[in-house]
A and B are shown apart, each in its own frame.
Chain A
Amino acid sequence: MSSMYLPKLAKIVEVIEMTAIEKLFKLQFVNEEDAKSFTFKPGQFVEVSVPGVGESPISICKSPTRPGPLELLIRRVGRVTNAIHKLKPGDVVGIRGPFGNGFPMEKMKGYDVLLIAGGLGIAPLMSVLQYVVDKRRDYGDVILLYGVRSYQEALFRDMIIDFIRHPEKAGLRTFLSYEREDPVFVSLMKDHPENVRKGVVTVLFECADPYIKPDKVCAVVCGPPIMYRFVLKELAKRNIPPNNIYITLERRMKCGVGKCGHCVVGGATAIKYVCKDGPVFTYSDVLSVRGLV
């Protein structure tokens, strides 16, 4: 019996409160063999189980270049994630995976990397960000556009503010947009008018444009579904080849291996399983597969 449906036990070693509804969970596999055999690529996801409650697909929020526990940034939004949020260090969950194709980090070698995240979309992109920062010489310039609602709702906010204040230390250019005013971001905007804007994430293109070289860049996008349409339009406007634009998608993925059918997208000419053929797709896929975004 292969074990693709059997969750492996992982112990919560640390819980970091990120916002009112989001926590970062650090997990260690209970069985040493499981820990050793678990390898993943940026952009892949796992199915997290709370025994007796159920299972939920969650993106891996770290790069394989970094040792240490598995990291998952989880928003309290449904039955399973509510149950996960009640857990404490020492508690045990089930992990299946990793699943999905992940981002083509090899193919992106030699390119500048433009990361565009909206809200919780920063979680899967954190795996790419850490990866390119850790393999700095393999990639060109790194640009991060992050759109949030407010300071209170911003994820990794201290890190983002630090990136903006000390770009030379961070090794990347960071741009931040926010929708609701608050003293921290207002003062940050005052100090760094070139990096911080009020509005949705697309307002940041104006700031980042001088650094975006369309023929030299790979764009990586993740955010709420509504964001893709607008961001992809902006990227297309800048003539970035559709095959160099990557998005990662959310669907109701129950099995993770292309059997249960919940994440099927597309018209009759192209049926795709988001869990197996994705969750990472290119803009070319978006143009040819119906209903992808």
Chain B
Amino acid sequence: MRYVKLLKENFKDFFENLKKFGEVHAPVKRGNSFSFAKVDSPSEVALKYNRTILPPKKYFIKPFEEVLKIKVGKGYEPLVEEPKSLILLGLHACDINALKILDSIYLDEPPDDYYQIRRTATVIIGISCEPDDYCFCKSMGADYAWTGFDLFLHELDNSYLIRIGSSRGEVMIESMKNVISEPTKEDFIKLRDIELKRSRMFKKALNTSLLPDIVDSLYESDVWVKFSDKCVSCGSCNLVCPTCRCYDVTEKVELNLKEGVRVRRWDSCFIRSHALVAGGLNFRPTRLDRFRHRYNCKSSIEPRTNSPFCVGCGRCSAFCPAGIDHVDVLNAIWGLT
């Protein structure tokens, strides 16, 4: 890995340089929450933030998108968008690792064109962070991004140590020679100390050894009943999850009944219709079934990346209206609470 150094006083220049490579989107403060949005100046960017409500997946699998144009009685035409160069600035390591999980599904054979076009056109720039009460990415092995980014900014005192993660990142850094410098031995010692301090800051922990087996084999545990009784089946955890990827497909027809669109939109396994087939048979008819399904899905291991489908970002817990905490549920399954 190649490292370069960016003084904080040069961040504005760095930001202006980024714009040459595409439209910059970064976390911005919205009320008490954060959200990824288009930014024009560095002052809009919230570089220190806990988590955005919606994860970066919204840029690759849209919450709602038209995929095909329908001509009733004649057939379908693909709706392909022009790839737009995008710079996603300020992703936390958990979100970068979550994108790798999405890649393993959406880029796996056969690749999803809509996703692939956007993913290829997007530059990922990570930023270091500090855990809050909900973060358990360390337990999930997702607290550090080894790959999956073009650049990664580690905040030191008055500078950023930048890890360059791709040839595209190299090209970008090459064009910014006037704003970057070579890091010193002291910078790396600072990085080490900061990372060590950070790894000791996690308050939330989940025992992940054997987790898939524990969740699967304790399927009949009363713990599921206890927590699913509190669950309101709203699907918020699915929407805010950076690795939840289910979508539904519907068609909309214009009033002239001649034209329409096939759309796909985010779906949730907590919604009754998720496993419902024509004729009325539901493979997960109860809220308990759906509740257990999500924990089984999130606790399973993606075979290509060999990592769990949960990255420990804490969003599902932070934004659950019923106050259900992902780690509390699984720790209860472990018998730890």
Contacts and interface: CB of A to CB of B under 8 A. Distances in A.
B72 A290 contact: no
Contacts of A255: 247, 249
Interface stretch (B87-95, B128-136, B270-278): B270-278
24 contacts: A1-B80, A1-B113, A3-B78, A4-B110, A5-B67, A5-B78, A6-B76, A7-B76, A51-B71, A51-B73, A51-B260, A52-B72, A52-B253, A77-B278, A94-B75, A252-B277, A255-B249, A259-B106, A260-B248, A262-B248, A267-B212, A267-B296, A268-B297, A268-B299
Interface stretch (A38-46, A53-61, A124-132, A170-178): A53-61
Interface stretch (B13-21, B147-155, B159-167, B213-221): B213-221
Interface in B197-214: 211-213
Interface of A: 1-7, 9, 49, 51-56, 75, 77-81, 92, 94, 225, 250-252, 254-255, 257-262, 264-271, 290-291
Contact of B78 (A1, A9, A92, A94): A1
A262 B272 CA distance: 12
Name which of A1, A78, A267 has the most chain B CB atoms within 10 A of its CB.
A267
Contact of A260 (B72, B73, B249, B262): B249
B106 to A, nearest CB: 6
Nearest to A80: B278
Interface in B63-107: 67-68, 70-76, 78, 80, 105-106
Contacts of A250: 277
Q: How large is the interface on B (under 10, 10 to 19, 20 to 34, 35 or more residues)?
A: 35 or more
A140 B295 CA distance: 45
A261 B269 contact: yes
Contacts of A259: 105-106, 112, 245, 247
Interface of B: 67-68, 70-76, 78, 80, 105-106, 108, 110-113, 211-213, 215-216, 219, 245-251, 253, 257, 260, 262, 264, 267, 269, 274-279, 281, 283, 293, 295-297, 299-301
A262 B267 contact: yes
A79 B219 CA distance: 35
A254 B248 contact: yes
B304 to A, nearest CB: 12
B284 to A, nearest CB: 8
Contacts of A5: 67-68, 78, 112-113
B68 A6 contact: yes
Contacts of B246: 260-262
A2 B260 contact: no
Contact of B278 (A49, A81, A267, A290): A81
Contact of B216 (A252, A260, A269): A269
A290 B278 CA distance: 22
Given A9-B75, A252-B274, A260-B247, A51 B70 contact: yes
Nearest to A271: B300
Name which of B262, B274, B297, B301 has the most chain A CB atoms within 10 A of its CB.
B262
Nearest to A53: B251
Given A51-B251, A81-B278, 12 more contacts: A5-B113, A7-B76, A9-B74, A9-B75, A51-B260, A55-B249, A79-B278, A255-B249, A259-B105, A259-B247, A261-B245, A264-B293
B158 to A, nearest CB: 45
A78 B278 contact: yes
